[in-house]
Amino acid sequence: MTRLRLAAALLAAGACVGGLGLNSLDSQEPEADGPLRFTERERSIIQTLSPLPPLPQQASNRWADDPAAARFGQRLFYDARLSREGDRSCASCHSPGLGWSDGLPRAEGRNGALIRNSPSLLHSGYQRWLFWDGRADSLWAQVQWPLEHPDEMGFARADLVRLLARDASLRRDYEELFGPLPEGAADAERFRPGGRPPLPRPSDPFNPAPSLEQLAETDPGHAAWLAMSEADRRAASEVLSRCAKAIEAFERRLVPGPSAFDRFVEGLREDDAQKQGALSRSAQRGLRIFVGKGNCVNCHFSPLLSGGEFHNIGLAVAAGEPFDAGRPDGINTVRVDPMNGRGEFSDAQEWASNVKLRYLRYDEHTFGAYKAPTLRNAAVSAPYMHDGRFATLEEVVRFYVELPGLPPVGHREETLLPVPLDEGEIQDLVAFLESLRGTPVDEQLRRPLEPTEDD
Ligand code: HEC
Ligand code: HEC
pLDDT at residue 18 tops 70: no
- Would you say the pTM of this structure is higher than 0.85? yes
Q: What is the pLDDT of residue 31?
A: 45
Distance CA 384, CA 431 (A): 16
What's the CA gap between 59 and 141, in Å, rounded? 13
Q: Where are the beta strands (DSSP E) in 3-123?
A: 108-109, 112-113
Question: Per residue in 206-245, is it b (16+ CB within 10 Å) or e — as a string?
Answer: eeeeeeeeebbeebebbbbbbebeeebbebbbbbbbbbbb
Residue 438 has pLDDT above 60, yes or no: yes
- Kindly report which listed range (14-18, 272-276, 309-313) carries the lowest average pLDDT score: 14-18
Which protein residues touch ligand 1 with a CB less than 6 Å away? 88, 90, 92-94, 107, 109, 114, 116, 118-119, 121, 124, 127, 130-132, 139, 142-143, 146-147, 152-153, 247
Q: Other CB atoms closer than 10 Å to residue 452's CB: what's the count?
A: 10
Q: How far is the CA of 183 from the centre of ligand 2 (A)?
A: 49
Q: How far is the CA of 37 from the centre of ligand 1 (A)?
A: 42
Model pLDDT for residues 251-268, shown as the tens digit of each residue: 999 999 999 999 999 999
Separation of 384 CA from ligand 2 center, angstroms?
Answer: 9
Confirm if 396 and 315 have CB atoms less than 8 A apart: no
Q: What is the C-alpha to C-alpha distance for residues 436 and 341, in angstroms, rounded to an integer?
A: 32
What residue ranges define each of the domains in the chain, with the CATH number in brackets?
A: 3-52+256-326+367-434 (1.10.760.10), 67-254 (1.10.760.10)
The pLDDT-based confidence of 290 (bands split at 50, 70, 90) is: very high
Q: At what angle do helices 168-178 and 230-251 cross, to 10 degrees?
A: 90
Q: What is the pLDDT of residue 395?
A: 98
Are the C-beta atoms of 307 and 300 separated by less than 8 Å? yes
Which residue among 45, 374, 396, 437 has the greatest number of ligand 2 atoms within 8 angstroms of its CB, and so is best to mutate?
396
**Ligand 1 centroid vs 119 CA: distance in angstroms?**
7
The closest residue, in CA terms, to atom 11 on ligand 1 is 118
Where residue 452 falls among pLDDT bands split at 50, 70, 90?
Answer: low
| Structure confidence by residue, pLDDT tens digits, 373-430 | 999 999 999 999 999 999 999 999 999 999 998 887 788 988 899 999 999 999 999 9
Mean pLDDT, the chain, as a whole number?
91
Strand, helix or coil for residue 313:
coil
Torsion, Cα 95 98 100 103, to 10 degrees, reads: -100
Distance CA 228, CA 219 (A): 15
Radius of gyration of the chain from Cα atoms? Answer: 24
Say if ligand 2 is within 6 A of residue 331 CB. Answer: no
| Nearest residue to 400 (alpha-carbon basis) of 309, 325, 290, 320 | 290
C-beta atoms surrounding 5 within 10 Å? 10
Element (H, E) at 370: strand 370-371
Amino acid identity of residue 28, one-letter, is Q
| Cβ-based burial of 66 (10 A; exposed 0-12, middle 13-18, buried ≥19) | middle
Nearest C-alpha neighbor of 385 from the set 292, 317, 439, 331: 317
Q: What is the pLDDT of residue 62?
A: 98
Write the pLDDT tens digit of every residue in 63-119. Answer: 999 999 999 999 999 999 999 999 999 999 999 999 999 999 999 999 999 989 999
- The one-character DSSP state at 188 is T
